[in-house]
């Protein structure tokens, strides 16, 4: 005996209702908006260190221990606005002089909103040398 499937709410059997696309692996978990791949976008970059006198724990938002390293999976750790770039996303950061940094979004920060990111450095001296600069960012996948 087989059971027939009747249309429910006007939707024939085996047909899914029209619905918004589901977030992909490169979509923000907060908004579901896709981060743009293979497109260079302009960001404002600043620098930070894992250990400082106030508010630094040595652990990223994703719970990586960065007290003795500035990389994860061979890429520089950066803080991002997770509504713009999803956490765990690999990136390439191009500095004004053409230098490229392979990075990965593993942290967030209170001042990191929109098209801003914070690059992790080992020392305060290196962070100050990097300063604040306009960079180009490409989402990798």
- Per-residue pLDDT of 32-76, as tens digits, reads 445 555 799 999 999 999 877 666 788 899 989 998 999 999 999
Token look-up 């719970």 returns 63
- Going by DSSP bridges, is the β-strand pair 40-49/116-121 parallel, antiparallel, or unpaired? parallel
**Is residue 91's pLDDT more than 90?**
yes
Closest C-alpha to 133, from 45, 40, 41: 45
Per the CB < 8 A criterion, the answer to whether 23 and 81 are in contact is no
Residue 68 CB contacts under 8 Å (≥ 6 apart), including other chains = none
- What is this structure's pTM? 0.71
Q: Tokens 């290196």 sit at which residue?
A: 126
Separation of alpha carbons 104 and 92, rounded Å? 8
Domains and CATH numbers, the chain: 40-139 (2.40.40.10)
């Amino acid at each position: 005996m087989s059971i027939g499937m009747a249309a429910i709410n006007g939707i024939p059997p085996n047909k899914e209702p029209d619905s918004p696309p589901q977030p992909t692996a490169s979509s923000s978990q907060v908004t579901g908006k896709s981060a743009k791949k293979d497109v260079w976008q302009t960001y404002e970059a600043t620098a930070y260190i894992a250990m400082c006198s106030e508010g630094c724990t040595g652990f990223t938002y994703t719970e990586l221990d960065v007290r003795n390293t500035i990389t994860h999976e061979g890429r520089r750790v950066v803080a991002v606005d997770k509504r713009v770039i999803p956490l765990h996303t690999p990136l390439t950061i191009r500095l004004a002089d053409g230098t490229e940094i392979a990075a990965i979004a593993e942290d967030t920060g209170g001042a990191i909103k929109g098209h801003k990111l914070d690059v992790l450095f080992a020392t305060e001296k290196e962070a100050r040398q990097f300063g604040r600069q306009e960079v180009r960012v490409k989402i990798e996948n």
